[in-house]
């Protein structure tokens, strides 16, 4: 197969809802909690396509999921960063699954404990046959860290699509947002110059909903019947 360079572009659920918007696809709207898995044996049988959300602790992953699902309490962030030790799975209206992966990279967690669940995370992202795409959430103010790149080194070579959400964009000026996106794109091209993966970098803010429609359009392309009537 001919390789090509990366191309870049711009806990339990609660029933309360975020502001609705009927324009465009909403692939995560209607998501419902299914199960929390703390070990590979607890994962559901492979069948329906899955997309995963990953990110460092405090990168804004739970807020991003909630914004895309148009819910305020679907995904929960631990009060103590780095303490969530399971994969939470949510079922979409289409029957596909969303996997909310435990946050990583938080130094205060004991190394022995951290290694157990991070091994689980890496095993899931590299061997799960029904995992069709990955959403990596990074703080737009800090870009890709080594722990992010470590995860991507196991995922990107598979050629599966990747969406990077550069979150907390509301804390940056427009000039800083453009610089953040360029820096992330440069990091990707330097690390994976010959990757065949389809990669999108999107500036994102859960609080202002900047980037939500663009992210929804990307995700809807990954899933069959993402917006059923």
Domain ranges of the chain: 32-220
| Residue 69: pLDDT over 70 | yes
CB atoms within 10 A of CB 227: 14
Q: Find the mean pLDDT for residues 14-31.
A: 66
> pLDDT grade, residue 222 (50/70/90)?
very high
pLDDT of residue 116: 72
Is-contact 99 88, C-beta < 8 A?
yes
| Residue 184: pLDDT over 80 | yes
pLDDT of residue 84: 59
Is-contact 182 148, C-beta < 8 A?
no
Whole-Å CA distances, 170 to 83, 166, 209? 26, 11, 9
> pLDDT grade, residue 55 (50/70/90)?
very high
- Mean residue pLDDT of the chain comes to 83
| Residue 204: pLDDT over 60 | yes
Q: Token digits for 211?
A: 């980037």
Write the CB contacts of 149 (distance below 8 Å, at least 6 apart in sequence): 187, 191
Half-sphere exposure of 160 (CA within 13 A, CB side): 24
The span from the CA of 112 to the CA of 224, in Å, is: 39
pLDDT of residue 23: 61
The CATH number of the domain covering residues in 32-220: 3.40.50.300
Q: Find the mean pLDDT for residues 174-192.
A: 96
Is-contact 31 71, C-beta < 8 A?
yes
| Residue 66: pLDDT over 70 | yes
The span from the CA of 125 to the CA of 43, in Å, is: 13
If you compute the radius of gyration of the chain from its CA atoms, what whole number of angstroms results?
A: 16
The 10s digit of each residue's pLDDT in 93-144 is 989 999 999 888 765 555 656 677 678 888 899 999 999 999 999 999 999 9
| Residue 15: pLDDT over 70 | no
> pLDDT grade, residue 194 (50/70/90)?
confident
| Residue 220: pLDDT over 90 | yes
User: Nearest Cα to 59, choosing from 81, 74, 76?
Assistant: 81
Q: For the ranges 16-25, 38-47, 66-75, 217-226, which has the lowest average pLDDT? A: 16-25
What is the helix (H) or strand (E) element at residue 124, kind and residue range? Answer: helix 111-127
pLDDT of residue 201: 97
Whole-Å CA distances, 161 to 110, 147, 215, 218, 229? 32, 19, 13, 10, 26
């Amino acid at each position: 197969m001919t390789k090509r360079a990366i191309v870049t572009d711009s806990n339990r659920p609660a029933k309360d809802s975020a502001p609705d918007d009927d324009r465009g696809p909403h692939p995560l709207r209607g998501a419902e909690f299914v199960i929390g898995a703390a070990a590979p044996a607890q994962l559901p049988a492979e069948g329906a396509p899955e997309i995963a959300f990953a990110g460092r602790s405090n990168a804004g992953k739970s807020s991003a999921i909630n914004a895309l699902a148009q819910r305020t309490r679907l995904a929960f962030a631990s009060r103590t960063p780095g303490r969530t030790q399971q994969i939470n799975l949510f079922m979409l209206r289409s029957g596909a699954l969303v996997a909310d992966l435990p946050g990583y990279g938080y130094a205060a967690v004991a190394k022995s404990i951290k290694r157990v669940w991070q091994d689980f995370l890496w095993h899931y992202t590299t061997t799960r046959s029904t995992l069709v795409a990955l959403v990596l959430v990074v703080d737009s103010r800090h870009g890709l860290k080594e722990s992010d790149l470590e995860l991507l080194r196991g995922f990107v070579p598979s050629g599966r699509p990747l969406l990077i959400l550069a979150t907390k964009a509301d804390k940056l000026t427009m000039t800083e947002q453009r610089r953040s996106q360029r820096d992330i794109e440069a990091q990707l091209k330097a690390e994976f110059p010959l990757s065949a993966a389809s990669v999108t970098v999107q500036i994102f803010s859960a609080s202002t909903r900047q980037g939500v429609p663009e992210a929804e359009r990307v995700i809807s392309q990954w899933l069959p019947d993402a917006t059923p009537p």
